[in-house]
Structure formats: C-alpha cells, structure tokens
Amino acid sequence: MTENGNPLENAVAERINGIIKDEYLETYDINNINEAKTLLKDIVNLYNSERPHMSISNLTPNHIHHSKTKIKIERLWKNYYRKNPTIVNPNQD
C-alpha cells in the first residue's frame, strides 16, 4: 500500500485497515485463505454500503459515489488545529 512501508505515507489506507480489523474482524475465527477472502469481500461491501462516514455527512461511500446529483457534504468531526498558526521566531535554533 505504501512505497516504503511507512504507514504515515498512506494514512487513509491505514485508517481503513484499522477499522476493518477493529470493527469487523475481531469477532471472526478464520480458518483458511478462502474464508478470509470471502469475509473481506463482504466486509468491504458493508463498509461501502452500510457504514456511515463522518467525513461525508454520515452518508455511505456508495451513496455519494453513485448519486446522480452533486451532494454537498460536511465533515462532522472537530478539527483542533488552528487554521493560521502564529509562528514565533521561525529561525530560532
């Protein structure tokens, strides 16, 4: 998923992997690769079609992606970073 194997290079993919592991996979016992592939296919379908996402106004990715009209979305999480931070003496060593 990432060029150098650094999770910071692809935060979105790492977030999705964490959600899949924490919200879906922890309740299953998987015995072989075929079970894992089938389960992951079903989980990705659930993630895209039934799980609301705060980054897209609590809609599902499929709802946004397949909409015929443009949907105005609003991110519903708080951002604790200041938009214009004050830099005090940036050349200080």
Distance separating alpha carbons of residues 78 and 69, to the nearest angstrom: 27
Which helix or strand (DSSP H or E) is residue 56 part of? Answer: none
Dihedral angle computed from the Cα positions of residues 8, 24, 64 and 56, in that order, rounded to the nearest 10 degrees: -60
Distance separating alpha carbons of residues 29 and 58, to the nearest angstrom: 30
Residues across the chain = 93
Which helix or strand (DSSP H or E) is residue 7 part of? Answer: none
Residue range 55-88, pLDDT digits in tens: 888 889 888 888 888 888 777 666 666 666 565 6
Q: Whole-structure pTM over 0.85, yes or no? A: no
* Amino acid in the structure at residue 70: K
